[in-house]
Amino acid sequence: MNTIHPGESLNPPPAVIVQLLERVVSEQWPSGPEHFASYFTRLGCTLCARLEPDEQASLGVTRGQFIVPGSAVENASWSALSDELFNLSFFAYAGAWKSSPADVNAGYDAIRAGIAAAFGPSPDERTDQGGNRSAVWFSHGTTIELYAHVTEAPVLQAGASHQERTARFQGLLEQRPDQPKY
């Protein structure tokens, strides 16, 4: 009898996500939308059209999507502030691909190990009471975040952000009068 272990047939293979994040760190974040398409091409991705403006458009934020060809990465999106790309985010191993918490955890473990091999150990790893996990890395002005959401609708979330531009975005959010103050 052939037994399939969790994570054996993950799409995309964890190495694809690790390689994408390595390319993000090694590439210069683009300024100016005229440079976005070539940036995504260098990442091995395809830039899609911008999304309709949302409530953050008044801050100078534009958003769009991208595709990771040949893989089941879902909801891959980008954000730019004043036409400077500052965030990439995507999901993998979602329920639509018949994943389970075991698949998400297997993917998380493999991706976490690959990122740690490339950038060193995470300075901040957490697991909550429900088994959801997270880790973060900082390298060359880029923050890499990895999440295993396993308690509801299992999915792996990964993202990368330009540290300085993200801090500027956060500052603008904090200045909004409608933002809750914690």
Tokens 């955890």, residue located: 105
Q: Which has the closest alpha carbon to 85: 165, 6, 18, 152? A: 165
- Looking at residue 180, what is its pLDDT? 53
Q: Are 147 and 126 within 8 A, CB to CB?
A: no
- What is the Cα–Cα distance from 107 to 174, expressed in whole angstroms? 34
Q: What is the pLDDT along the chain (182 residues), one digit of tens a residue?
A: 333 344 557 889 999 999 999 999 999 999 999 999 999 999 999 999 887 877 787 888 999 999 999 888 889 999 999 999 999 999 999 864 466 889 899 999 999 999 999 999 999 999 999 999 999 999 999 999 999 999 888 999 999 999 999 999 999 988 876 655 44
- Looking at residue 9, what is its pLDDT? 75
- What is the Cα–Cα distance from 149 to 108, expressed in whole angstroms? 10
- Looking at residue 72, what is its pLDDT? 86
Q: Are 47 and 34 within 8 A, CB to CB?
A: no
Classified as helix, coil or strand, 76 is strand
- What is the Cα–Cα distance from 109 to 14, expressed in whole angstroms? 9
Query: Following CA atoms 79, 85, 87, 88 in sequence, which dihedral angle do they give, to the nearest 10 degrees?
Result: 90
Query: What is the CB neighbour count within 10 angstroms for residue 28?
Result: 11
- Looking at residue 57, what is its pLDDT? 79
Q: Which has the closest alpha carbon to 78: 34, 42, 46? A: 46
Classified as helix, coil or strand, 171 is helix
